[in-house]
Amino acid sequence: MFETIDPDRSLSKEEYDREIPGLRERIGVLQREFRDKNIPVLIVFEGWRVSGISSTINQLTYALDPRGYRVHFTQRPDDTSRMHPLLWRFWVRTPARGHTAIFDRSWYTDTLLEMRDGDRKPAIPAQAIDDIINMEHLLAVDGTVIIKIFLHISKKEQKKRLKKIREVRPEIIFAEDRKRKGLPEYDTVLPTLEHLISTTDTPGAPWTIIEANDRHFTVVRVFNTIIRRLEETLAGSHTTVVSSPDAEITGDDTRTLILPSVDLTKTLPEDEYQHRFEACERRLHELQYSIHSKKIPVIILFEGWDAAGKGGAIIRLDRALNPRCSVVEPIAAPDPHEKAHHYLWRFVKMLPKQGNITIFDRSWYGRVLVERVEGFCPEQVWRRAYDEINVMEDYLVRSGYILLKFWLHIDPETQLKRFEERETDPLKTYKITEDDWRNREKWPLYAMAVEDMLHKTSTPSASWTIVESNDKYYSRIKIMETVIAALESALAKNGKTGKKNVSAQKK
324 sits near its own copies (criterion: CB under 8 A): yes
65 sits near its own copies (criterion: CB under 8 A): yes
- Of these, 135, 146, 359, 449, which contacts its own copies (CB under 8 A)? 359
Contacts of 488 (CB under 8 A, 6+ apart): 287
One DSSP character per residue, 172-190 reads GGGGS-TTS--PPPHHHHH
Least gap, CB of 362 to its own copies (angstroms): 10
314 sits near its own copies (criterion: CB under 8 A): yes
Query: What is residue 305's three-state secondary structure?
Result: coil
325 sits near its own copies (criterion: CB under 8 A): yes
What CA–CA distance (Å, rounded) separates 494 from 489?
Answer: 8
Phi, psi of 201 (to 5 degrees): -90, 85
Answer yes or no: are the C-beta atoms of 58 and 25 closer than 8 Å.
no
What CA–CA distance (Å, rounded) separates 209 from 207?
Answer: 6
Answer yes or no: are the C-beta atoms of 505 and 86 closer than 8 Å.
yes
What CA–CA distance (Å, rounded) separates 486 from 404?
Answer: 8
- Of these, 102, 212, 222, 449, which contacts its own copies (CB under 8 A)? 102
Contacts of 378 (CB under 8 A, 6+ apart): none
Least gap, CB of 417 to its own copies (angstroms): 23
Between residues 231 and 281, which has the closer beta carbon with respect to its own copies? Answer: 281
Between residues 251 and 323, which has the closer beta carbon with respect to its own copies? Answer: 323
Closest CA to 445 of 370, 366, 373: 373
180 sits near its own copies (criterion: CB under 8 A): no
- Of these, 243, 311, 465, 484, which contacts its own copies (CB under 8 A)? 311
Contacts of 185 (CB under 8 A, 6+ apart): none
443 sits near its own copies (criterion: CB under 8 A): no
78 sits near its own copies (criterion: CB under 8 A): yes
For the chain, the residue count is 507
54 sits near its own copies (criterion: CB under 8 A): yes
What CA–CA distance (Å, rounded) separates 297 from 390?
Answer: 18
Contacts of 119 (CB under 8 A, 6+ apart): none
117 sits near its own copies (criterion: CB under 8 A): no
361 sits near its own copies (criterion: CB under 8 A): yes
Contact segment (CB under 8 A) with its own copies among 76-84, 138-146, 200-208, 438-446 equals 76-84
Between residues 54 and 199, which has the closer beta carbon with respect to its own copies? Answer: 54
Q: How many CA atoms lie within 13 A of 45 on its CB side?
A: 27
- Of these, 162, 242, 315, 492, which contacts its own copies (CB under 8 A)? 315
DSSP annotation of 153 reads -
Between residues 32 and 255, which has the closer beta carbon with respect to its own copies? Answer: 32
Phi, psi of 468 (to 5 degrees): -70, 115
178 sits near its own copies (criterion: CB under 8 A): no
Tell me whether strands 41-47 and 69-73 are parallel, antiparallel or unpaired. Answer: unpaired
- Of these, 13, 67, 120, 178, which contacts its own copies (CB under 8 A)? 67
Between residues 265 and 430, which has the closer beta carbon with respect to its own copies? Answer: 430
What CA–CA distance (Å, rounded) separates 481 from 408?
Answer: 15
Answer yes or no: are the C-beta atoms of 94 and 101 closer than 8 Å.
yes
Answer yes or no: are the C-beta atoms of 361 and 330 closer than 8 Å.
yes
Contact segment (CB under 8 A) with its own copies among 66-74, 136-144, 259-267, 384-392 equals 66-74
Can you name the residues that pair with 326 across neighbouring β-strands? 357
What CA–CA distance (Å, rounded) separates 15 from 214?
Answer: 13
Closest CA to 210 of 146, 124, 147: 147
Between residues 32 and 493, which has the closer beta carbon with respect to its own copies? Answer: 32
451 sits near its own copies (criterion: CB under 8 A): no
79 sits near its own copies (criterion: CB under 8 A): yes
Least gap, CB of 36 to its own copies (angstroms): 8
Between residues 155 and 337, which has the closer beta carbon with respect to its own copies? Answer: 337
- Of these, 14, 167, 171, 253, which contacts its own copies (CB under 8 A)? 171
175 sits near its own copies (criterion: CB under 8 A): yes
Contact segment (CB under 8 A) with its own copies among 107-115, 135-143, 315-323, 390-398 equals 315-323
Residues between 276 and 305 that touch its own copies (CB under 8 A):
286, 289, 292-293
Between residues 192 and 356, which has the closer beta carbon with respect to its own copies? Answer: 356
- Of these, 12, 240, 274, 322, which contacts its own copies (CB under 8 A)? 322
Between residues 275 and 337, which has the closer beta carbon with respect to its own copies? Answer: 337
Residues between 392 and 431 that touch its own copies (CB under 8 A):
430
Between residues 13 and 324, which has the closer beta carbon with respect to its own copies? Answer: 324
Q: What is the dihedral sign for C-alpha 457, 461, 462, 465?
A: positive
Residues found near its own copies in the complex (CB under 8 A)? 32, 36, 54, 57-58, 61-62, 65-67, 70-71, 73, 78-80, 102, 104, 171, 174-175, 286, 289, 292-293, 311, 314-315, 318-319, 322-325, 327-328, 330, 335-337, 359, 361, 430
